């Protein structure tokens, strides 16, 4: 344990004394969240979104409302999930094409009111009306879990992968290999150091942003911390796997970019994957970041508990075990 704590302490010193990297880790996500909060602080966007349950909007020719222009009709499979989205203003209306034909609107939503008038005007007076209430989930509320997870991803992959490759290239690993320090002790110290720093940075950014923006948080903070911790373990393991063999920082940087860019764009950090092409949604499932973002969003926006996010946690657990196992098997000091 003495060796483990010595390496852990050295790595922590290295990170904390690298002021530019530390500042970047805190300031970047902080300004992204604040920037989006400012950019989307005006009125609701013009686009109407209607969830359609038990029907395909493009084939449902008997309901005239479904042919309305400038309204996005999104097929939904789960009625409860869709109702919660209406409560959070993520859907402006939910339509069940029946039988019985019925619809749900949020009585606090101006868009819901307008859509209800349009629905009735299209000859659907007989549809059963259901009213829901609930605070609007702003884009920044929806975005924040993704930003936290994305920042974590960069910190895990570059903070672990890139640093180990640099250590290997400049001979630090070779020097450590000449001591009684084992590979497991060294790698564990790197993981724990990065985990601690991510916890510190994420907490600072979360609390800072929350004081300014007042996030929606319906779930448990412990559950959220657990999800982010498991996500960090998974992403750090991926970083270790990336760094297992390479000795070129340029090549490792390229590999890390190949990993991070698709995750950043296709894991649902910036926009919902609902309504995207099915293959995009399938590809997104192979990214650990997708599962971290989905679980964190479910906890923060829907108040999801352990059982609700268990599928995402299981996927992250399995991915962590696979990445870590491969990283340990492939790791070379030189």
Partner 1 sequence: MPAIIEVCDLVKHYPKVQAVNGVSFAIEPGICFGLLGPNGAGKTTTIEMMEGIQKPTSGSIFYKQQPLGRQFRNEAGIQFQHTALPDFLTVKDALRLFHSLYPRSADLEQLVDLCNLRELLSRDARKLSGGQRQRLLLGIALVNDPSVLFLDEPTTGLDPQARRNFWELIRATKARNKTIILTTHYMEEAYTLCDEIAIMDHGRVIARGTPNALLQQHFKHVFLRLPRADFSVPLENFPFTVFESDGYVEIQALDVNESIALLLKNNVPLTRLEIRPPSLEDLFLELTGKALRM
Residues that bind partner 1 (CB under 8 A): 2-3, 5-7, 9-11, 13-14, 17-18, 167, 170-172, 174-181, 334
CB closer to partner 1, 128 vs 334: 334
What is the smallest separation between the CB atom of 285 and partner 1, expressed in angstroms?
A: 38
- Residue 250 corresponds to which tokens in the numbers above? 């340029």
What is the smallest separation between the CB atom of 168 and partner 1, expressed in angstroms?
A: 10
CB closer to partner 1, 78 vs 179: 179
3-state DSSP of 71-117: EEEEEECCHHHHHHHHHCCCCCEEEECCCCCEEEEECCCHHHHHHHH
What is the smallest separation between the CB atom of 166 and partner 1, expressed in angstroms?
A: 9
Regarding beta strands 102-106 and 93-96, do their DSSP bridges make them parallel or antiparallel, or are they unpaired? antiparallel
Contact by Cβ (8 Å): 247, 330: no
* Sequence-distant (≥ 6) Cβ neighbours of residue 54 within 8 angstroms: 96, 97, 98
What is the smallest separation between the CB atom of 296 and partner 1, expressed in angstroms?
A: 32
State the Cα angle at 213 between 153 and 225, rounded to 5°.
Answer: 40
What is the smallest separation between the CB atom of 203 and partner 1, expressed in angstroms?
A: 23
CB closer to partner 1, 173 vs 224: 173
CB closer to partner 1, 54 vs 169: 169
Burial tier of 317 (Cβ tally within 10 Å: 0-12, 13-18, 19+) = middle
Contact by Cβ (8 Å): 66, 73: yes
How far apart are alpha carbons 73 and 51 in whole angstroms?
A: 6
Backbone φ, ψ for residue 188 (5° rounding): -60, -40
| DSSP 8-state secondary structure symbol assigned to residue 53 | E
What is the smallest separation between the CB atom of 159 and partner 1, expressed in angstroms?
A: 13
How far apart are alpha carbons 89 and 83 in whole angstroms?
A: 10
CB closer to partner 1, 73 vs 246: 246
Q: 237 to each of 8, 106, 157, 190, 333, how far by Cα in Å?
A: 17, 43, 9, 11, 17
What is the smallest separation between the CB atom of 251 and partner 1, expressed in angstroms?
A: 19
CB closer to partner 1, 239 vs 268: 239
CB closer to partner 1, 16 vs 318: 16
DSSP bridge pairs for 52: 75, 95
What is the smallest separation between the CB atom of 156 and partner 1, expressed in angstroms?
A: 19
CB closer to partner 1, 161 vs 219: 161
């Amino acid at each position: 344990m003495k060796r483990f704590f010595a390496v852990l302490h050295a790595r922590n010193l290295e990170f904390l004394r690298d002021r530019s990297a530390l500042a970047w880790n805190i300031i970047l996500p902080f300004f992204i969240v604040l920037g989006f909060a400012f950019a989307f602080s005006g009125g609701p966007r013009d686009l109407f979104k209607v969830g359609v349950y038990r029907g395909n909007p493009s084939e449902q020719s008997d309901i005239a409302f479904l042919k309305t222009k400038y309204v996005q009709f999104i097929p939904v499979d789960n009625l409860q999930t869709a109702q919660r989205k209406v409560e959070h203003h993520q859907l402006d209306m939910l339509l069940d094409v029946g039988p019985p034909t019925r619809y749900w609107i949020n009585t606090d939503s101006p868009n819901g009111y307008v859509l209800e008038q349009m629905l009735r005007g299209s000859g659907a007076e007989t549809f059963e009306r259901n009213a829901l209430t609930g605070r609007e989930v702003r884009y920044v509320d929806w975005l924040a879990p993704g930003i936290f997870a994305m920042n974590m991803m960069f910190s895990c992959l570059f903070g672990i992968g890139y640093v180990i490759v640099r250590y290997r290239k400049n001979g630090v690993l070779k020097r450590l290999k000449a001591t009684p320090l084992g590979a497991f002790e060294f790698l564990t110290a790197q993981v724990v150091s990065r985990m601690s720093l991510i916890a510190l940075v994420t907490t600072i950014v979360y609390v800072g942003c929350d004081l300014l923006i007042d996030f929606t948080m319906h779930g448990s903070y412990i559950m959220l911390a657990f999800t982010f911790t498991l996500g960090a373990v998974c992403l750090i393991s991926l970083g270790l796997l990336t760094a297992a063999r390479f000795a070129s920082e340029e090549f490792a940087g390229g590999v890390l970019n190949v990993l991070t860019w698709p995750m950043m764009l296709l894991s649902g950090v910036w926009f919902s994957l609902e309504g995207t092409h099915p293959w995009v949604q399938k590809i997104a499932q192979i990214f650990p970041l997708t599962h971290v973002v989905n679980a964190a969003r479910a906890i923060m926006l829907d108040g999801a508990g352990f059982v609700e996010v268990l599928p995402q946690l299981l996927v992250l657990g399995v991915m962590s075990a696979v990445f870590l196992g491969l990283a340990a098997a492939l790791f070379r000091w030189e």
